[in-house]
Amino acid sequence: MEKDSELLLATERYGSAGSWRYSVKDGAVERRREGSEGASRTNSIVGVFKSVFLPQGYPESVSDDYLQYQFWDTVQAFSSSLSGTLATQASLKGVGVGDQEATVAAATVTWLLRDGTGMLGRILFAWQKGSKLDSEAKKWRLFADVLNDTAMFMEILAPYFPAFFISIVCIAGIFKSIVGVAGGATRAALTVHQARRDNMADISAKDGSQETLVNLAGLLISLMLIPLVTNNPILTLSLFFLFTILHLFANYKAVRSVVMETFNEARLSIVWQQYLKDKRVLSPQEANQRETVFFEFRKTVPIRLGVRLQEIVQSPEDLQMALWKKNMPYLLGVRNGCVCVCLGPEASVHDEIRAMCHAVWISSKLSPPASKEPVTQQQSHWEMVHESHKLIDTTFNPFLKGVEAAGWDTKRTLLDWDEWRVTWKSKSS
């Protein structure tokens, strides 16, 4: 009878955290959470934890791979914190902390030299590789962590080579500066991927809170480790290798868990070549699983996007050979062992994807073992370009519809285009 006397007025929910109902009982409005009271207390505790360490609206406000990535990222941050403690202790010992004969001036000079070379390394690396960090975020993220472990290993060994101490710590400082640029930039790229409600700042802030909590836990463990490893190089190295293995494994699992829905060169090449093979379009999950997270050194014909016209055309005849039809959004050719693409100023994102598919097909034909005898005659190159135009004209539109249906984001890409844009005369003129 009590329930019969209640009059339901409204219901509400807070994301996926739970739902509440408003009802009138004995002339008063009551708000009650749906579910048991015990569950309500538990959900309240979990809700506080989520609000402190997870983005608002989780899990709807982030990508599906967010939780798995953050779990492994937390593991790697914890192990890196412990490894960093061992490296810091070695560095302090190397500059003379605890040595009565060491001078403050000598320690200061060593520290300044390390920081100065690190600053130069940061500038040079950002100049040379800054534009690559978006398109190859997974690879550079893993590379940064491997380099970070290498730098810490050098810092641990440095005190045992006093004659080369300054050189070793300066090189380690350069490595760590590169880690700072690559790690920070790729983290920003992954945050763009994870944000689903234009909430990059919130995700980044909560990631900082998670990292701070992990570092605090690492600090507490480090306080117990320091007395054990002091003046015990064997234990120091043993623990460092243990933490490093855990760190690298967690980083590998973290980058492998990321499922990006935008095309870079690797993912587009995987999906496009599979489509040419059996007309099947791979989903983002399948393509990301096939994408390698290590830098490859196998011999392939490189692709250069957004080059100057002179990279392709050396004569009026070359321009006529490069033009396939009127109003082409891009030109493509083979020069100096590279597949080069010139982009027109009005080219759309779909034109960029088309040009990349075009270049991938030519690159695969020229790369061993697909090509047992390299193509050396320029005329043969142009014949291959014309053949590829015919293939692209018949297959690209169905392919584009297929990738959109499979869940790929074709409104933007992570292809590494340079800034050159060329306007050329049409073939008829």
Q: Please report the domains of the chain, with CATH numbers, ordered by start residue.
A: 7-53 (no CATH), 66-257 (1.20.1250), 265-405 (no CATH)
| Mean pLDDT score, 288-304 | 88
**What does the pLDDT look like over 404-421, one tens digit per residue?**
999 999 999 999 999 999
What does the H/E/C string look like for 124-190?
HHHHHHCCHHHHCHHHHHHHHHHHHHHHHHHHHHHHHCHHHHHHHHHHHHHHHHHHHHHHHHHHHHH
DSSP tag of 60: T
pLDDT of 92 above 90: no
pLDDT of 259 above 50: yes
**What does the pLDDT look like over 43-84, one tens digit per residue?**
677 778 888 999 998 888 999 999 999 999 999 999 999 998
- Would you state the pLDDT for residue 319? 86
- Would you state the pLDDT for residue 1? 41
Q: Which helix (H) or strand (E) holds 331?
A: strand 330-335
Q: Tokens 């690492």 appear where?
A: 218
Q: Across the chain, what does the average pLDDT equal?
A: 86
Confidence of residue 110 (pLDDT cuts 50, 70, 90): confident
Q: How many CB atoms lie within 10 A of CB 19?
A: 12
pTM of the predicted model as reported, rounded to 2 decimal places: 0.85
Q: 131 or 146: which carries more pLDDT confidence?
A: 146
| Among 221, 227, 228, CA closest to 243 | 221
Measure Cα distances from 269 to 11, 223, 333, 355 in Å.
Answer: 49, 49, 18, 12
- Would you state the pLDDT for residue 212? 93
| Mean pLDDT score, 315-341 | 87
- Would you state the pLDDT for residue 2? 45
| Token pair recorded at residue 273 | 């070549």
Q: 137 or 26: which carries more pLDDT confidence?
A: 137
Q: 276 or 231: which carries more pLDDT confidence?
A: 276
- Would you state the pLDDT for residue 280? 95
Confidence of residue 30 (pLDDT cuts 50, 70, 90): confident
pLDDT of 337 above 70: yes
**What does the pLDDT look like over 203-236, one tens digit per residue?**
999 999 999 999 999 999 988 888 888 888 888 8
- Would you state the pLDDT for residue 62? 94
**Over pLDDT 70: what percentage of the chain?**
89
**83 with 219: CB under 8 angstroms?**
no
- Would you state the pLDDT for residue 229? 85
| Among 323, 328, 324, 321, CA closest to 379 | 321
* DSSP letter string, 189-240: HHHHHHBSSS-HHHHHHHHHHHHHHHHHHHHHHHHHHHHHHTT-HHHHHHHH
